[in-house]
Amino acid sequence: MIGDRPLRICITGPTATGKTDAAVAVCRAIRGEVVSMDSMQIYQGLSIGTAKPTQAEMGGVPHHLLSFAPPQRAYTVAEYQRDARTSAADIAYRGRIPVFCGGTGLYLQAVSRPLTFAAAHGAEGVREALQREAAEPGGPETLYARLLGADPASAERLHPGNLRRVIRALEVQALTGEPMSARRAEWDAEPEERWLIFALTFLREALYARIDARVDRMIAQGLEEEVRGLMDSVPLDAQAMQAIGYRDMVQVIRGESTLEDAIDRMKRNSRRYAKRQLTWLRRDPRVRWVDVSAFESADLVAAFLIDQIRQEMQDETMG
């Protein structure tokens, strides 16, 4: 608790920046527990390709919202908001501090701002119709063009290739009769909690090298075998199977791509994803940037974060 507002800490940033190690160290220092903020680590069976932390990497720190959602079905942002807030409230009730960790920007926005999603509940029929349209030749381009006409403010914030978000915006428009951007004020509204948000980053070339090394590790750890196991029970058009690496390995297994080409795509798409993560986070004025390149070790990064958090807590208490 900071003052009369419950404390929430977030360690975010693009992929491959060491968020998990930093969050575990912070939790050990301040009696915290991790709440995952990764849209693919929620799924059961998706471990290697999502860089899901192992028990050893968790270091005895409780982690919430990992490996709980069946990969056969979609998991919505509204569900994440509900589940993450419930987890955080439970952690705080037990006298500990929730530490959100992950790089999914929309999850951060959903849990740290008073956004409402109830208006778009019960939207399966609308969503399925849009998904069928998206599967047609030229479908994604058609949907994005429709969004540009119906809600240009939302379209400008979205990458044309981010089909899931384009469908979501069109879905809200269809169900509520107003564009998603009309509720933009919620995105900047003050939450009930006090949020300390730290974003880890590297200089670009160092970040790309880390991303490439992570992809190589995933292949060596058996990503192809993990995907083969999922293909026995998970539809190929499931949301979980659209994650970077999974759709690429599906193409390898089906003989539609060589492993070398798939690895190249994974690295390229991971770098592009990192750029989108950075773009999203740079829009948030609350973010405190931490250049990991300026520190000699991950331990020193964690020590810096711990010092910043303790200082903030002390200043608020004294104030």
Section 30-45 average pLDDT? 98
**46 with 84, same domain?**
yes
Q: Assess contact for 158 and 172: CB atoms under 8 A.
A: no
Section 220-232 average pLDDT? 98
Is 263 part of a structural domain of the chain?
A: no
**76 with 202, same domain?**
yes
Mean pLDDT of the chain: 90
Q: Assess contact for 71 and 43: CB atoms under 8 A.
A: yes
Split into its structural domains, the chain has a count of 2
Given a cut of 50, whether residue 119 has pLDDT beyond it is no
Model confidence over 76-109: pLDDT tens digits? 888 999 999 999 999 999 999 999 999 999 899 9
pLDDT at 180: 72
Model confidence over 196-215: pLDDT tens digits? 999 999 999 999 999 999 99
Instruction: Give the C-alpha separation, 39 to 75, whole Å.
Output: 8
Model confidence over 139-197: pLDDT tens digits? 888 988 898 888 888 888 887 888 888 887 887 777 666 777 766 666 677 888 999 99
pLDDT at 71: 97
Site of tokens 């020590």: 303
**Percent of the chain with pLDDT strictly greater than 90:** 69
**91 with 202, same domain?**
yes
The CATH number of the domain where 179 resides is what? 1.10.20.140
Is 272 part of a structural domain of the chain?
A: no
**158 with 180, same domain?**
yes
**Percent of the chain with pLDDT strictly greater than 70:** 92
Section 43-69 average pLDDT? 98
Tokens linked to 262: 């798939």
Is 96 part of a structural domain of the chain?
A: yes
pLDDT at 161: 80
The CATH number of the domain where 85 resides is what? 3.40.50.300
Which backbone phi and psi does 287 adopt, to 5 degrees?
A: -70, 135
**85 with 142, same domain?**
no
Quote the domain boundaries for residue 85.
7-114+192-210+279-318
Which backbone phi and psi does 76 adopt, to 5 degrees?
A: -90, 165
**66 with 135, same domain?**
no
Residue 250 or residue 150, greater confidence: 250
